[in-house]
Amino acid sequence: MSLSASLRRLLPRTAAAVAATALAAAALTACTGPGAASGTDGTVALLLPDAKTARYETFDRPFFEARMTELGDYRVLYSNADQDAQKQQQQAESALAAGAGVLVLDPVDVQAAITIVAAANAQDVPVISYDRLVAGGDLAYYVSFDNEKVGELQAEAFAEELEARGHGRGGILMVNGSPTDSNATSFAEGAHRVLDATDLDVLAEFATPDWSPDKAQTWVAGQIAQFGDDIVGVYAANDGTASGAIAAFKAANAEEHPVVTGQDAELSAIQRILTGDQYMTVYKAIQPQAELAAEVAVALLNGDEVTAPMEIDGTPTTLLDPVAVTVDNIVETVVADGFWTIEDICTPAYADACAAAGIG
């Protein structure tokens, strides 16, 4: 089965149209359908960065492991670095010592991870840069989302809603992601491309260490003390930082909660959107991303050549398209794709909010 065909099979319905152009060009020269690699001895290490972001343990890991099982008799060495770059370095060294033939690496720190790539290259072990692009080194493949587009989607929805509420000239806070995450830079660049063309006034901006909701909350609380009612919106780079920002406004007993963005379509974020605490999130179809990484890993284990629709810094690259989610399209996006079910979302505490949104 070709990679492009496999990806078209895996794409959620809502993501299929927007990603069709990129994925139609993706190709893999190997046949890696179920059973094709049966009996082949091979070990792949999956190195994920943290557990604070719900997606990694809930979606990335199980999707990756399930696809590896479908592809043949392969072993997955899984590690989570808990947002510790040194720990991830040690996990990578352990995986290489245990005989991993491919590393699938989502780096805690894109600069520090260069040493992981160098160590793998020294042993002729290919590295797939997963979700975040390692800042250097000889990478075999990179799979992620169009991260500047994520920022653009967030900022476009944000600016439009602020304008609709009569705050098109108001003051906003920007709660960006971790300074060690290259994706956070791309999100912010995409957001600024939109926001800098508006009349919105960025009152303050913060790079949130470790993507920590607690650190985001503490920083936003300080800005509330300084700017008070001048804050009409918070650009939050993901759902975790959004939760921290929202908690800060609730603790301050703000009369009017600002417009708040997010990313990752976490269940709690979808529920906050229903209650009006958060305005939007960005849904990224993690299943095709994780399954593509597994398929490329198997091809590399088998010594097959991989190609992709584009290159970034000389690395074959596939970037999937993100989708903005508001209260108006929850059913058509995360529910339609089976990312969350109505039962997941509409627990008794959210039954009234679901009914008001026409969900149920």
In percent, the amount of the chain with pLDDT more than 90 equals 84
Average pLDDT over residues 291-300: 98
Domain stop point among 258, 283, 308: 283
Does residue 359 fall inside a structural domain?
A: no
> Is 337 within the bounds of a domain?
no
The structural domain count of the chain equals 2
* Domain identity same for 44 and 157: no
Least trusted range by pLDDT, from 45-59, 89-103, 151-165, 185-199: 45-59
Q: Is the pTM of this model over 0.75?
A: yes
The reply to whether 333 falls in a domain is no
| pLDDT confidence bin for 343, thresholds 50/70/90 | very high
Domain membership of residue 357 (yes or no) is no
- Say how far apart CA 98 and CA 100 lie, in whole Å: 6
DSSP tag of 86: H
Calculate the alpha carbon distances from 19 to 40, 155, 180, 187, 313 in Å.
32, 21, 28, 19, 22
Specify if 235 maps to a domain: yes
The answer to whether residues 103 and 121 belong to one domain is: yes
- Whichever domain contains 28, its CATH number is 3.40.50.2300
The CA-to-CA distance between both ends of the chain, in Å, stands at 38
Q: Are residues 177 and 212 both part of a single domain?
A: yes
Q: Among 260, 283, 306, identify where a domain stops.
A: 283
Judged on CB neighbours under 10 Å (0-12, 13-18, 19+), 282 is buried
176 and 210 inside one domain = yes
Domain residues for the domain of 162 are 147-283
Instruction: Tell whether 345 is covered by a domain.
Output: no
Q: What is the rounded CA–CA span in Å between residue 223 and residue 12? A: 39
For residue 11, pLDDT over 60 is answered with no
Same domain, 205 and 227: yes
Quote the percentage of the chain above a pLDDT of 70. Answer: 89
Q: How confident is the model over 175-199, as a mean pLDDT? A: 96
Q: Does residue 80 belong to any structural domain of this protein? A: yes
- Using one digit for the tens of pLDDT, what is the confidence trace for 31-49? 333 333 333 359 999 999 9
Lookup: tokens for 29:
């020269």
For 102-124, give the secondary structure using H, E and C. EEEECCCCCCCCHHHHHHHHHCC
Same domain, 268 and 152: yes
- With CA atoms as reference, report the closest residue to 105 among 82, 84, 79: 79
Does one domain contain both 196 and 102? no
Asked if pLDDT for residue 322 goes beyond 80, the answer is yes
Domain end, chosen from 267, 283, 299, is at: 283
**Within a domain: 360:** no
264 and 187 part of one domain: yes
How does pLDDT run across 45-94, given as a tens digit for each residue? 999 999 888 889 999 999 999 999 999 999 999 999 999 999 999 999 99
Q: Do 236 and 247 belong together in one domain?
A: yes
Both 47 and 80 in a single domain? yes
Residues 305 and 278 reside in one and the same domain: no
Residues 79 and 26 grouped into a single domain: yes
Residue 256 is predicted with a pLDDT of 85
Q: What is the dihedral of CA 17, 22, 27, 31, to 10 degrees?
A: -30
